[in-house]
Amino acid sequence: MAKDHYATLGVRRDATQEEIKRAYRRLARQLHPDVNPDPETQERFKEINAAYEVLSDPEKRRIYDMGGDPLSPNGGYAGGPFGDFGFGGLSDLMDAFFGTATRGPRSRVRRGSDALIHVQVDLADVIFGATREVTVDTAVVCPTCTGAGTAPGTHPDTCPMCRGRGEISHVTRSFLGQMMTTRPCPQCGGVGTVIRHPCPECAGDGRIRARRTLEVVIPPGVEHGVRLHLAGEGEVGPGGGPAGDLYVEIEERRHPVFRRDGTDLHATLQIPMTAAALGTTLTLETFDGPVEIDVKPGTQSGTVIVLKGRGVPRLRGSGRGDLHVHLEVLTPTKLDAEQEALLRKLAALRGEEIVDGAFKSDQPGFFSRIRDAFNGR
């Protein structure tokens, strides 16, 4: 007497494919030989696999509903250590235990790829923020077919190889008997349909290459190498799918005067020897306008003057860093006769003479300080 596959799985005769799959998963978990080794349970497990193999395949189910036996020796499962034991496909068994396998056609529409571009900015853009227009070559939705991929007035056809399932089955013999495996249909790529009349503009892809102009907001305080994330501004996916994301990598140009160190700025200001000795006031052009630098008499080379709040804004937080002005005292390299005479007179007045090329000083402790410096004191 023929088995009632619907009763075996406990479903109605008009059950949907999803209802059949859920019933199979539930019973497979309960009756698998690894879970329940009882002989009667193993026989029951064979029955639900045979029932699922018939009812999960639209063609085999149609033959069964018409009174035929799609698991006959000419096209079914026989032999092997478990008699007529058969799987509805290895992917179905994995799905029953792990829920990982999928059936049916996949969508032709897929998400697009992310894109990366580089934008060069000046130090002023980093300090105050800016807006930049960038041009990107990317994939956009085809204007002719609006992503469908078909020529105007046409539609995709059901794939003749897989009949719309998106996958084909293959029976192989193993020590467990005959097993069925499924793989994506090679003709339609797993989508279940074929485009016989592709769009003449995009050749069926649903997207074309185009050039777009975007506005990129440069936030104050951004650093070299930082990537700004623009969601949905990447490439449109196949079939007119949702666009990926666009990443904008910042490249900060080197400034001729100021050097950046985090949120601080550094600048070197050269001053004449006389100005350092006598003291003076110099004007430095900063990003916030001119600033007067007070050079005190006797300033030494390497002195650093810190201007608070004149640096780069903090990207996360409030306030700005500082501007560090490094003073470099310039010693004259060429002197005319009058200038040399004046310097020698100054040296004599300070007790610092050069006699026969040798330096002599009347200042107390001068050579002792040099000696201590060499001795590490």
DSSP string, 221-275: T--TT-EEEETT-SPPBGGGBPP--EEEEEEEPPPSS-EEETTEEEEEEEEEHHH
Q: Among all chains, which residue has been given the structure tokens 């539930």? A: 26
Query: For 117, phi and psi rounded to 5 degrees?
Result: -130, 160
Binding residues, as ranges, are 142, 145, 159, 162, 185, 188, 199, 202
257 contacts 266 by C-beta, under 8 angstroms: no
- Helices within the chain (DSSP H only): 5-9, 17-31, 39-55, 58-65, 90-98, 123-128, 273-278, 337-349, 366-374
In which element (H, E) is residue 177 found?
strand 177-184
Task: List C-alpha distances in Å: 103 to 87, 99, 107, 331.
Answer: 15, 11, 12, 83
Q: How many CB atoms lie within 10 A of CB 352?
A: 15
Beta bridge pairs of residue 355: 358
Residue list for the binding site for Zn(2+)? 142, 145, 159, 162, 185, 188, 199, 202
Q: Are 283 and 293 in contact (CB under 8 A)?
A: yes
Helix (H, G, I), strand (E, B) or coil at 103: coil
Strand 246-252 versus strand 115-121 pairing type: parallel
CA-CA distance, 189 to 239, in Å (whole number)?
Answer: 13
* CA pair distance 132, 217, nearest whole angstrom: 6
Place of tokens 């990537």: 227
Instruction: Please say whether the beta carbons of 59 and 162 come within 8 A.
Output: no
